[in-house]
Amino acid sequence: MKTTVALPTKFTGYDRNAMAFWHELAMEMNRDWFLANKARYQSLWVAPTEALLAAAHTSLAPLYKPMALSEPKIMRVNRDVRFSKDKAPYKTHIGSVITLAGKNVGNGGCAALYFHVGIDEDMVGAGTYFFDAAQLAKWRKAVVGKAGAELVPVVTKLRKAGFTVGGHDDYKKVPKGLAPEHPRADLLKQRGMTAMFPAIPRGLLHEAKLLPWIVKQATAVVPLVQWLHKHVG
């Protein structure tokens, strides 16, 4: 269930002591402690993240017309431990997302903005983390054709600007049925396509200026997200 709280009037940055909450949670990792400190979680992390994404949504929505963006969503802090060896009940980061309307980011959905910050690896970016089976087929068809040639300069420009662009847990070889010598063979190995933003500048997390920085990076990846929407779905 999505956690909701009263939003600040505007995003002013995260409290400079906010990261202590994650360190304490990592040491405690029990329901009683979390419930006793849930108000801290909401005030230190949920509320400012809601404010940050609400403002980013307002700035980004016009860039995607006629496509619509979903309302910002805060991911559950509870971990799904059913199929994991790690039985820690809580995450040590906050995850949030704005997707193209009607798409679930965890099921082939395409994110216009994914924001993940905590004591583990920070990840801020956009795109589709993993293609589902139907999308993967569309991806390969697009890559080998004219659309693939159109994608290359988009990827090149983002990489030159400091974005990490590519897939995740990709194939080591070009899959069977596809030409291994194809000029875009590296793209044919991919199982997803994201553009991860450059690292958040030191100290910016605690300042209001994080918002325009996020919007600037998210604006740069609009052509990639639009390409994915058009050719992969």
Q: What is the pLDDT of residues 2-55, one digit of tens each?
A: 333 344 468 999 999 999 999 999 999 999 999 999 999 999 999 999 999 999
Does residue 169 belong to any structural domain of this protein? yes
Q: Residue 192 domain-assigned?
A: yes
The predicted pLDDT at position 121 comes to 80
- Over residues 154-168, the mean pLDDT reads 96
Compute the distance between CA of residue 100 and CA of residue 71 in angstroms, rounded to an integer: 9
128 in a structural domain: yes
Q: How far apart are CA 45 and CA 153, in angstroms?
A: 37
Q: Tell me what pLDDT residue 1 has.
A: 35
Range of the domain at 58: 19-231
Task: Specify whether the CB–CB gap between 41 and 24 falls below 8 A.
Answer: no
4 lies in a domain? no
How sure is the predictor about 115, in pLDDT bands with cuts at 50, 70 and 90? Answer: very high
Does the pLDDT of residue 64 top 50, yes or no? yes
Note the pLDDT of residue 104: 63
Q: Has residue 14 been placed in a domain?
A: no
Number of domains in the chain: 1
Q: List pLDDT tens digits, range 94-111.
A: 999 999 976 565 556 899
Whether 6 maps to a domain, the answer reads no
Residue 89 falls within a domain, yes or no?
yes
Query: Does the predicted model carry a pTM greater than 0.95?
Result: no
